[in-house]
Each structure stands twice: as C-alpha cells, then as structure tokens.
C-alpha cells in the first residue's frame, strides 16, 4: 500500500553505490526509515541524492513495521526550508542538524507528532532568516523546549518542582497561580538563586536545592530567562550558551549519550 505524506529528512546513510537509507520525520506517519533505491544514480528517481533537512512530499510503500519502507517518490518543496540556503551560514546549519538529531533521538517510528512537525518546519524556515548567532541560539532553545513538551518531557520552568513556589517573572509580569490569586508572599523574585535538576526535570528554588544531587546552579540572567522565555529575544550570547549547555546536558541524560551535533553548536 502506498502512503503519501509531507516529510523532513532527518538522517541519511549511504546504502550502496546507488542507494540511500533515509529517515524521514513525516507529518501524519511519524518517523519512518525508508530505502531510496537509485537515489545516487545520475538519473535518480528523486532528482539526486536526498539531502539532510530537505522537505517535501513523499510517497512510500510501507512494509512490516520492523523493516524499511520503500520510498517511491520524493518531491522537495520549492522555495522552502532546505539545506541550500542554510549552507551560507554554518552555525545555523549546525543548529538545524542538531535539531534533526534530537527529533530522531526522541521520537519513535510510526508515532505521529504533527504539531512537532509543524514546529520543526517553522524552525527551519526561521533558521534561514536568523540574522546572527544569538537569534539562532534563541530559536534552537525554543525548538528544543517545544520538542521536549511534545514528547511529554517538557521541563517545569514556572515553579519549583519540589515546593511548588511560583517564580515571578521580571518586568512586573508576575504569573498568578491558579484562579488569578496573587502569588503567595515569599514568592521567588527574578533575582533569586535558581537551580535546574535533570532528574526532577525542572527548576528548583534555593530552599530546596540541597535535597537534589544532580543540579546546575543558574546565573541570575539565565534563571530570569528560563522563567520568562520572552527574554530569550534579547538575551546575551553568554546567557544563551548557558541555557543551551543545560539543555544539551539534559538531552544527554535523557538519551544516555551526548548528541553528536552538540559540539558544533556549543564549540566544545
């Protein structure tokens, strides 16, 4: 049976002189491994080898769930996110490849995540237009948080995981707890010390941190930014790098190995 879908290429492996094994993240079908026979032939049925991050319409013949599907058509969407534009900016390209690696690591085959597909496509479009390194890092951080949320692993950033104390946002934009009642007295201000625990999957206040073994102490700026993501837009490169390091460590703990692309984004 042939299945049509929209998909983004998140991994390619050369299979033979002429064929590729391609992993697609498809909107309705979820992650799919497919063999693209003859993709590297001069007269490729797919207009040449399928490139990482290219996206478009696919048609594939599904097989038994443990086996590779057979790709029969791939028509890359014209004028859309793709590797070509990103090639002009190595840092942006590396951030997009990092995002693709994480999507691959955190999703299962045949498990659809159509909202995540849309977020990923939007992320790739925005990456093409990112004006500088800070803008690109902010986009990556937002996408990584969206990815975590979509797979049910979204970190708790608005209150202490342990004692539930709500963290006030800077700029007087205090988040009210349930029902619109004012935050209780003793609410953590934006300048309070905050920690992030991987095992607890969220932020921890100063009063609770001693109970947690694995924790990162955050700088005040990083803490303020994580509790109010709007601040990502104007955050300094140092703050963005600090948050990205924290998320990379978090992904490493979740998947039991450091994502390969992390070093190209963090520089170490």
Using CB under 5 A, list all residues that contact Zn ion: 160, 162-163, 205, 208
d(CA 196, CA 202): 6
d(CA 226, CA 233): 12
Find the helix packing angle between 133-150 and 237-255, rounded to 10°: 30
CB of 246 to Zn ion, least distance (A): 18
CB of 9 to Zn ion, least distance (A): 43
Considering the complex, state which of residue 120 and residue 195 has its C-beta at the smaller distance from Zn ion: 195
Considering the complex, state which of residue 160 and residue 224 has its C-beta at the smaller distance from Zn ion: 160
CB of 164 to Zn ion, least distance (A): 7
For every residue of 173-189, which 3-state class applies, written as one string? CCCCCHHHCCCCCCCEC
CB of 208 to Zn ion, least distance (A): 3
Which residue bears the tokens 């009063």? 207
CA distances from 130 to 19, 85, 195, 259 (A): 34, 11, 30, 23
CB of 163 to Zn ion, least distance (A): 3
DSSP track, 201-245: TEEEETTTGGG-SS-EEPPHHHHHHHH-GGGGGG--HHHHHHHHH
Q: Are 127 and 86 in contact (CB under 8 A)?
A: yes
CB of 160 to Zn ion, least distance (A): 3
CB of 87 to Zn ion, least distance (A): 46
The secondary element (H helix, E strand) that includes residue 14 is strand 2-14
CB of 199 to Zn ion, least distance (A): 15
d(CA 214, CA 212): 6
Considering the complex, state which of residue 196 and residue 251 has its C-beta at the smaller distance from Zn ion: 196
Considering the complex, state which of residue 28 and residue 163 has its C-beta at the smaller distance from Zn ion: 163
Considering the complex, state which of residue 117 and residue 196 has its C-beta at the smaller distance from Zn ion: 196
Q: By CB neighbour count within 10 A (0-12 exposed, 13-18 middle, 19+ buried), where does 111 fall?
A: exposed
Considering the complex, state which of residue 140 and residue 205 has its C-beta at the smaller distance from Zn ion: 205
List of residues 6+ apart from 129 with CB closer than 8 A: none
Considering the complex, state which of residue 79 and residue 186 has its C-beta at the smaller distance from Zn ion: 186
Cβ atoms < 10 Å from Cβ of 52: 19
Beta bridge partners of 216: 196
Considering the complex, state which of residue 27 and residue 159 has its C-beta at the smaller distance from Zn ion: 159
């Amino acid at each position: 049976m042939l299945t049509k879908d929209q998909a983004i290429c998140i991994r390619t492996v050369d299979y033979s002189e002429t064929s590729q094994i391609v992993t697609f993240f498809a909107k309705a079908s979820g992650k799919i491994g497919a063999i693209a026979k003859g993709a590297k032939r001069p007269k490729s049925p797919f207009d040449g080898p399928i490139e990482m991050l290219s996206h478009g319409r696919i048609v594939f013949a599904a097989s038994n769930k443990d086996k590779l599907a057979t790709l029969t058509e791939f028509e890359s969407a014209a004028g859309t996110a793709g590797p070509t534009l990103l090639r002009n900016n190595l840092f942006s390209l590396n951030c997009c490849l990092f995002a693709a690696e994480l999507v691959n690591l955190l999703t299962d085959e045949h498990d659809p995540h159509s909202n995540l597909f849309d977020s990923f496509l939007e992320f790739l479009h925005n990456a093409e237009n990112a004006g500088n390194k800070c803008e690109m890092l902010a986009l990556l951080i937002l996408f990584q948080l969206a990815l975590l949320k979509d797979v049910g692993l979204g970190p708790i950033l608005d209150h202490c995981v342990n004692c539930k104390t709500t963290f006030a946002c800077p700029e007087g934009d205090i988040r009210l707890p349930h029902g619109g009642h004012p935050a209780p007295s003793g609410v953590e201000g934006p300048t309070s010390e905050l920690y992030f625990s991987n095992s607890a999957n969220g932020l921890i206040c100063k009063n609770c941190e001693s109970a947690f073994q694995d924790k990162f102490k955050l700088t005040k700026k990083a803490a303020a930014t994580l509790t109010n993501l709007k601040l990502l837009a104007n955050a300094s490169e140092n703050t963005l790098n600090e948050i990205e390091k924290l998320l990379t460590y978090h992904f490493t703990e979740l998947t039991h190995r450091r994502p390969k692309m992390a070093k190209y984004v963090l520089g170490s």
